[in-house]
């Protein structure tokens, strides 16, 4: 299989997490050699944003997203939202010293975790959607057991676009997202045979619904079950996508389409991909 011409994009990878501190450079190098040329690094808490920005500044294959994740709600402060606005204002200005902000994320609603207040989650989510809308930035959304609620938020702001990362909803909910111009993240969860509903969804939706992601260090694919996940496994995830979508189709053709989908939804990547 010739993948020389491919340039894969990992649309969601927490490469800033300290679990990568000892092997981050080696992983980035291995990704380059495996034709994984672009990695989006989303933020989960304000304290991580500066690290993400400096990593992205050091390496032009990394693109930053900044956001306040619903699973870390107890670490967020209302003042973090002002800081996010300031980053958006300064990073939307054309300035070669600053990496362009690819998106606002990772933001969303997680109703699987019981211990956090849904109202507070909703507050941070809708405030960050407003910031994204104000600066015309795409959003990277984390939605677990909350798709109907997320869709309600999106209906209130029809100019928003983005990715529903690690998609786990139904066919009907997927159609709602697609109607609003969103893409769905395909990653490790789809590689497990027991995920029958999710796997069946892949070929029921059009190819332009999907983008590839690893969500490393979490959500390892079946072939690396129990290990730390890595963006290096993106090619394996791509292969699984083709198997589920239509294994008779040309691998390179499918992967190029998925790459195009990611560029379409994250326009800051557009001018920079080789």
Residues found near Zn ion in the complex (CB under 5 A): 106, 215
List, in order, residues 6 or more apart from 209 with CB less than 8 Å away: 174, 178, 183, 184, 261
Nearest approach, Cβ of 268 to Zn ion (angstroms)? 19
Burial class (CB in 10 A: 0-12, 13-18, 19+), 253: exposed
**Helix or strand or coil: residue 141?**
strand
User: Of 45 and 222, which CB lies nearer to Zn ion in the complex structure?
Assistant: 45
User: Of 48 and 106, which CB lies nearer to Zn ion in the complex structure?
Assistant: 106
Check if the beta carbon of residue 266 is closer than 8 Å to that of residue 38.
Answer: no
Nearest approach, Cβ of 65 to Zn ion (angstroms)? 10
Nearest approach, Cβ of 142 to Zn ion (angstroms)? 6
Nearest to 32 by CA among 1, 7, 2, 65: 7
User: Of 16 and 215, which CB lies nearer to Zn ion in the complex structure?
Assistant: 215
User: Of 106 and 110, which CB lies nearer to Zn ion in the complex structure?
Assistant: 106
Nearest approach, Cβ of 262 to Zn ion (angstroms)? 16
Check if the beta carbon of residue 45 is closer than 8 Å to that of residue 71.
Answer: no
User: Of 215 and 240, which CB lies nearer to Zn ion in the complex structure?
Assistant: 215
Place of tokens 């402060």: 77
Nearest approach, Cβ of 17 to Zn ion (angstroms)? 10
Nearest to 140 by CA among 257, 228, 262: 262
Nearest approach, Cβ of 105 to Zn ion (angstroms)? 8
Token duo for residue 249: 């189709």
d(C-alpha 135, C-alpha 137), whole Å:
5
User: Of 113 and 243, which CB lies nearer to Zn ion in the complex structure?
Assistant: 113
Token duo for residue 208: 């332009």
Check if the beta carbon of residue 185 is closer than 8 Å to that of residue 211.
Answer: yes
């Amino acid at each position: 299989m010739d993948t020389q011409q491919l340039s894969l994009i990992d649309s969601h990878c927490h490469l800033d997490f300290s679990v990568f501190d000892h092997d981050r450079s080696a992983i980035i190098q291995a990704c380059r050699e495996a034709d994984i040329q672009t990695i989006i690094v989303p933020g989960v808490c304000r304290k991580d944003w500066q690290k993400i920005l400096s990593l992205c500044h050091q390496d032009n294959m990394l693109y930053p997203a900044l956001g306040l994740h619903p699973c870390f709600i107890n670490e967020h402060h209302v003042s973090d939202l002002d800081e996010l606005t300031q980053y958006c204002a300064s990073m939307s200005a054309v300035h070669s010293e600053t990496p362009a902000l690819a998106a606002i994320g990772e933001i969303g609603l997680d109703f699987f975790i019981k211990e956090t207040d849904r109202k507070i989650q909703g507050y941070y989510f809708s405030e960050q959607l407003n910031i994204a809308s104000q600066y015309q930035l795409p959003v990277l959304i984390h939605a677990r057991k909350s798709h109907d609620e997320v869709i309600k938020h999106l209906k209130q702001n029809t100019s928003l676009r983005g990715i529903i990362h690690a998609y786990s909803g139904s066919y009907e909910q997927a159609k709602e997202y697609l109607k609003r111009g969103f893409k769905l993240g395909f990653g490790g969860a789809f590689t497990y045979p027991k995920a029958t509903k999710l796997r069946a969804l892949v070929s029921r939706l059009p190819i332009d619904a999907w983008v590839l992601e690893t969500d490393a260090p979490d959500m390892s694919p079946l072939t690396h079950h129990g290990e730390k996940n890595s963006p290096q496994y993106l090619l394996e995830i791509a292969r699984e996508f083709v198997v589920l979508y239509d294994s008779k189709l040309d691998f390179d053709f499918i992967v190029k389409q998925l790459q195009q989908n990611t560029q379409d939804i994250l326009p800051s990547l557009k001018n920079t991909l080789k």
